[in-house]
């Protein structure tokens, strides 16, 4: 038996602080067919963040230059900073046979769903707004003003959750991870992506 597989683009979105990074880190650790697309951002690095690993941290001028060069698959201004997915990251990784995970905001996710209809789209929801607030303050990476801006954006983002193929509530990390892993396992077996060749 021979098997032919096609890689896929997986969009993980949701409000800031819902747990996207937590869930995709577990996915990447446990499924070696997946890789992450490192985005560019004009945001300053947080303590412990590494250039080229968490993001490519760039200046506004560099960002504008990339924009003019049409280097982005999608890009968006999010909570006061600019973010973008590089075409070069996604295309090279897909061509090498990886399935590529994007952790992007809901504006970017909608753009990718439009230009890449074959992508798998997953929106993570918090169990409540109060819990989202707790997570943002508990993460201790953003100042109160930035957190409040993220929280007020969250309401509109959550209203759009039904645009995605899948909604997963991140109430418990292990349960949410298992659900996302199950979605990816099933999506890999679609006939458009998986062909068992009987010899």
Q: How far is the CB of 191 from ligand 5GP (least distance, A)?
A: 30
Q: Are 194 and 188 in contact (CB under 8 A)?
A: yes
How many Å separate Cα 151 from the centre of its chain? 18
Q: Which position among 35, 39, 99, 170 is part of the footprint of ligand 5GP (CB under 6 A)?
A: 39
Q: Are 6 and 120 in contact (CB under 8 A)?
A: no
Distance CA 196, CA 71 (A): 36
Distance CA 93, CA 186 (A): 21
Q: How far is the CB of 19 from ligand ADP (least distance, A)?
A: 3
Distance CA 35, CA 101 (A): 6
Is residue 78 a contact residue for ligand 5GP (CB under 6 A)? Answer: yes
Is residue 76 a contact residue for ligand 5GP (CB under 6 A)? Answer: yes
Q: How far is the CB of 88 from ligand ADP (least distance, A)?
A: 23
Question: Which of ligand 5GP, ligand ADP, none sits in contact with 138, Cβ below 5 to 8 A by type?
Answer: ligand ADP
**Footprint of ligand ADP on this chain (CB under 6 A)?**
14, 16-22, 135, 138-139, 170, 172-173
């Amino acid at each position: 038996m021979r098997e032919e597989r096609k890689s896929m683009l997986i969009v993980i979105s949701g409000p800031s602080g819902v747990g996207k990074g937590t869930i995709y880190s577990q996915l990447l650790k446990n499924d070696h067919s997946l890789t992450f697309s490192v985005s560019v951002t004009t945001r300053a690095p947080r303590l412990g963040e590494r250039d080229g690993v968490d993001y490519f941290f760039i200046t506004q001028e560099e960002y504008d230059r990339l924009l003019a060069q049409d280097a982005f698959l999608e890009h968006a201004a999010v909570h006061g900073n600019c973010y973008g997915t590089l075409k070069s990251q996604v295309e090279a990784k897909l061509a090498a046979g990886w399935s590529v995970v994007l952790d992007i905001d809901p504006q970017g996710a909608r753009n990718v769903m439009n230009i890449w209809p074959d992508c798998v789209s997953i929106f993570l929801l918090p169990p409540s707004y109060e819990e989202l607030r707790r997570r943002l303050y508990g993460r201790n990476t953003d100042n109160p003003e930035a957190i409040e801006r993220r929280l007020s954006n969250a309401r509109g983002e959550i209203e759009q959750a039904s645009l995605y193929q899948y909604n997963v509530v991140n109430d418990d990390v292990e349960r949410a991870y298992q659900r996302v892993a199950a979605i990816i396992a099933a999506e890999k077996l679609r006939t458009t992506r998986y062909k068992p060749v009987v010899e």
